[in-house]
Structure 1
C-alpha cells in the first residue's frame, strides 16, 4: 500500500520537533521528510528568483506591485516542485545517502519509504506543479516544461564534475525567467541577466552548504565546489557573490529600476559580505545557519524591488 511505511524517527539533519514530527500522522511523516517540508528554506531559495523576476517585471511595466495571483502561484509551484525535486534526488542518490552520516537516516535509505512509494509520491507532486503551471500563459507553460531538463540532470552531476552547484543554479534560478514571462509573455535581456546572477548566487550559498559533507563526500567520491575551493572558499564566494550582485544590478538597470531597487541590492551586498566574513568552513552547524540566511537575502532584494515599483507608480 502507498502509506505502508515505518516511521523510524526524524532525519538527522532535519529541524527538530518540527510540526512534521509532532502533528502529522506517523504514516505521512516519511513523505513529508522526502519533500523536506520541515525545511522551508529550500522552497524559498527556489521561489526567490520567481518573485524577483515578477517584481522587476512590475517595475518595467509601470505597475505598482507584482501580480498577486502570480506570486501565489509561484509559491505553490515552488513548494510542490521543490518537494518533487528532493524526492527525485533521494531516489537517484539512495546509495550515496546511505554512506553519508548526515543523510543515511533519510526516508529511503532508512527503509521508511520504498523506491516505488517514493516514485508515486514524486508523480503526485509533479502533477500539482503541472496544475499550477497551467494557470500561466502559453509561453510560460513551455518555459516551465523546459525547466525540467536542468532539474533532471542535476542529481547526476556530483558524480562527474566538481561544479554540481552550477547545475543546481541552472535549475533553482529558472524562476528568473518565469516571473517576467508571466507578465509579458516573452523574455528580454533583463531576466537573462537575473538568471545568470541567480546561478552565481546559488553556487555561492550551496558551496557553504556542501562544506557540511566534504569529508564524507571525499570518502564516497562525491564532487562539489566545497571540495574544489577548499581553503580558497572565501575568495571564491567574494567572486561569486560579486558577480551575482553585478548581474542583479544590470538586470535592474535594464528594467528601468530606480534608487530603491539599488538600495535593496546594496543592502544585500552587506548581508552577503557578512556571510563571507564570519564563515568557518569547518563548522558544519554554522555553515547550515549561513546557508539558511540566504532566505533573508531574498527578502532584502524583493523588498527593494517592490518598494521601487511602488515609488515608480507614484504610490
Structure 2
C-alpha cells in the first residue's frame, strides 16, 4: 500500500482534474443528459487508468533526465522512493485497467483504445526531438471528451472534435507556461521546448494565443450543440480565469507559476463541466 501511495504521488493523481471534467463534458453532450450509471463508472475508470498509466510511463521514460534537473531530482524514481520495476508494474496495471474499461464500454472504444496509448508513449519522448511536445500533450488530453463521446454514442461527431481541439489548445498553452521554468536546463541538455527557442516572453505570448484559440473553440461548441446561456456564462468565466492566469505571470517574474499551472487550470476544467451540466439539465437538454 505504501508503494501504491508513492505511485499515486508520483503520477500526481490530483492532476486528473485537468482531463476528467472534460471527459464528463463530452459524456453529457453525447447523452444530452446523463447516460447509464455503468457508462459513467466505466468512463471514470477509463480516464483514471489511462491518465495514471500515461503519467507513470512518462516518469519512467524521463527518470534519467529528471535526475539531472535540480527541480525534478526529488521525484520518486530519481530519489529512490519507488524503483523502476515497481513503477513499471503499476503503469502496466493502469493501462490494463484502461483497456478493460474500454472493452466494457462498447466495441468502438475497444477498437480505438490503442490510439491514446500510442499518443501517451509518443509524448514521453517528444522533448528529445521536437518543440511540438506541448501540442502532443494537448492532443493526449484533448481526446478525453472525444473518448467519452465514443463511450456513450459509439461514433464520432465534428462538434466533439472541435471541443477536443479546444482542450488541446488550452493544455498546450499552460504546458508552454510550465516549461518556462526549465528553459536553462533544456538548453543545457539539448531538450526541445517552445521556451528554449522563443524565450520566456515569446512563450508567454504564444501561450496567450493558444488560450485565445481554446476560448473561441469552447465558444463555438455552444453554437454547434445549441447550448444555452448557462454554458455561455461558464465559458466567459473560464476565459476570465485564463486572463487572470496570464496576468499573474511576467517574463521577469514566474514566482506564481505553480498557482497559475494547477489551481487556475483545474478551475477552468471544472467550470466548463459544471456549467455544461447546468445548461444540459436546465436549459438546452434533458
TM-score (norm 1): 0.82
Deviation at 1:243, TM superposition (A): 0.8
Deviation at 1:154, TM superposition (A): 0.4
Aligned residue in 2 for 1:75: 44
Q: Does 1:30 align with 2:1?
A: no
Of 229, 235, 246, the match for 2:216: 246
Aligned residue in 1 for 2:18: 45
Distance 2:8 2:270 in 1: 25
Alignment of 1:51-90 (within 5 A): 51-59=24-32, 63=33, 65=34, 68-90=37-59
Aligned residue in 1 for 2:266: 295
Distance 1:56 1:171 in 2: 20
Distance 2:70 2:167 in 1: 30
Question: 1 or 2, which has the higher helix percentage?
Answer: 2
Deviation at 1:313, TM superposition (A): 5.9
Alignment of 1:251-270 (within 5 A): 251-270=221-240
Of 127, 147, 157, the match for 2:126: 157
More moved, 76-85 vs 258-267? 76-85
Alignment of 1:112-131 (within 5 A): 112-131=81-100
Deviation at 1:203, TM superposition (A): 0.7
Distance 2:147 2:37 in 1: 14
Distance 2:250 2:48 in 1: 30
Distance 1:132 1:192 in 2: 22
More moved, 112-121 vs 132-141? 112-121
Number of aligned pairs? Answer: 284
Deviation at 1:309, TM superposition (A): 0.7
* Cα deviation 1:194-224 (Å, max 9, x = unaligned): 1111111011111122122222222212222
Distance 1:89 1:50 in 2: 21
In 2 relative to 1, CA 263–156 (structure 1 residues): closer, same or farther, beyond 3 Å?
Answer: same
Of 80, 93, 96, the match for 2:65: 96
Distance 2:252 2:124 in 1: 25
Aligned residue in 1 for 2:114: 145
Of 250, 254, 260, the match for 1:280: 250
Of 202, 208, 213, the match for 2:182: 213
Secondary structure of the residue aligned to 1:212 is helix
Deviation at 1:171, TM superposition (A): 0.9
Cα pair 2:11 2:59 within 8 Å, conserved = no
Distance 2:44 2:179 in 1: 25
Distance 1:86 1:43 in 2: 10
More moved, 190-199 vs 70-79? 70-79
Unaligned runs of 5+ in 1: 1-23
Aligned residue in 1 for 2:156: 187
Distance 2:103 2:87 in 1: 24
Distance 1:313 1:232 in 2: 41
Distance 2:46 2:173 in 1: 24
Unaligned runs of 5+ in 2: none
TM-score (norm 2): 0.90
More moved, 157-166 vs 105-114? 105-114
